Structure 1
């Protein structure tokens, strides 16, 4: 029964992201709910399903794939702050080429964070998935985080195709000329600000404090 629940949750998670991405579904939903309403409903459903799939993975029978070693936690604690930094920098940053950013204020000649990576939120989620895949060597969590990581990588090319369709080839190429799907970390520096760095530090501290209570395991080495 636990495996069925996990399978249903994982299927619901990917369906909740694939179905709204269909042009005719998104267009009709935005027409009825408005862009803000659509974003709120989609975000709420995504969060609920994400919680469901994580809880279901924790309830699935434990089947070890690889053992856990202390060095794995050190790697995760190095990778996760990087993932959170990308998350904080990406939210509401000028970037009409990906989700999570805003379409206004973007300068193709100085693309900011998009110049370091076109889809920073997906890279943040990929790093989160990879770090958690490493430290969770059981079958359920292996399937979960490997699926998330693959979904993030595939999602980048899917988003590019969708933006090309929405913006048109010429406009997309004009906006994306100085961006890249492959990370160029040295270009992150222009996107840094004291406000976002403070938010990043607060978020990382909050996650470290809340993780044992919400997940039941301390993330520290």
Structure 2
């Protein structure tokens, strides 16, 4: 569990720092390139530790690590929420009016993904990981809304069709890749 916690501290620590005025100070003192490089290195190391620590912690679960048992409908709710997450991700990756309308499609994707996985996973490592992502995404929306941050680009109307379709394609791909990438089957074939 220690690797998981260290990974969360590194990954979210650097992301939370980016939500504060300290980001501009660091970027100005270090320069844009070195700041982005250091941010990326810390974030990647943190993410690797989260993945490694999560896998290790889940492989040694005992009864005291089960915080709650998911309800029977959890799997279906998770599948719907993750579909919405991938659609939001598709919207984030494209420059349509939907991106302007949603304002925070990446954070919304993380929120749907996190809630879905919290519904279906009641073990301590899962609650820590998905809860951390949920809290960060909510903070991101709060901070960026308070700053008045809005997407700024000339929308491409065809992206409003392409983005949701891309999201559904990514979702279907993940349904089949989940057992190989994550190690847990989503659907029984």
- What is the TM-score with the length of structure 1 in the denominator? 0.67
What is the alpha-carbon root mean square deviation over aligned residues? 3.0
Q: Provide the rounded CA distance (Å) in 2 between the counterparts of 1:49 and 1:220.
A: 29
Q: CA deviation at 1:84?
A: 0.4
CA gap of 1:27–1:146, structure 2 versus 1, over 3 A, is same
Alignment of 1:31-110 (within 5 A): 34=32, 42-43=39-40, 45-60=42-57, 61-62=60-61, 63-93=65-95
Return 5+ residue gaps in structure 1 as ranges.
95-110, 165-171, 177-188
2:99: which partner in 1? 113
Q: CA deviation at 1:19?
A: 2.6
Query: Does residue 11 of the first structure (1) align with residue 9 of the second (2)?
Result: yes
Superimposed CA distance per residue, residues 24-71 of structure 1 (whole angstroms, 9 cap, x where no aligned partner): 444543775547x75566456434422321331231242111124542
CA gap of 1:113–1:72, structure 2 versus 1, over 3 A, is same
Of residues 133-142 and 200-209 in structure 1, the stretch that sits farther from structure 2 once superposed is 200-209
CA gap of 1:112–1:74, structure 2 versus 1, over 3 A, is closer
1:148: which partner in 2? 133
Of 132, 140, 143 in structure 2, the residue corresponding to residue 158 of structure 1 is 143
Q: Provide the rounded CA distance (Å) in 1 between the counterparts of 2:139 and 2:20.
A: 16
Q: Provide the rounded CA distance (Å) in 1 between the counterparts of 2:37 and 2:175.
A: 27
CA gap of 1:72–1:24, structure 2 versus 1, over 3 A, is closer
1:135: which partner in 2? 120
What stretches of structure 1 move > 3 A for 4+ residues in a row? Answer: 20-35, 37-45
1:213: which partner in 2? 180
Q: CA deviation at 1:83?
A: 0.7
Query: Does residue 192 of the first structure (1) align with residue 189 of the second (2)?
Result: no
Q: Provide the rounded CA distance (Å) in 1 between the counterparts of 2:74 and 2:21.
A: 41
Count of matched residue pairs: 178
Q: Provide the rounded CA distance (Å) in 2 between the counterparts of 1:41 and 1:113.
A: 29
CA gap of 1:149–1:24, structure 2 versus 1, over 3 A, is closer
Q: CA deviation at 1:220?
A: 2.2
Q: CA deviation at 1:74?
A: 1.1
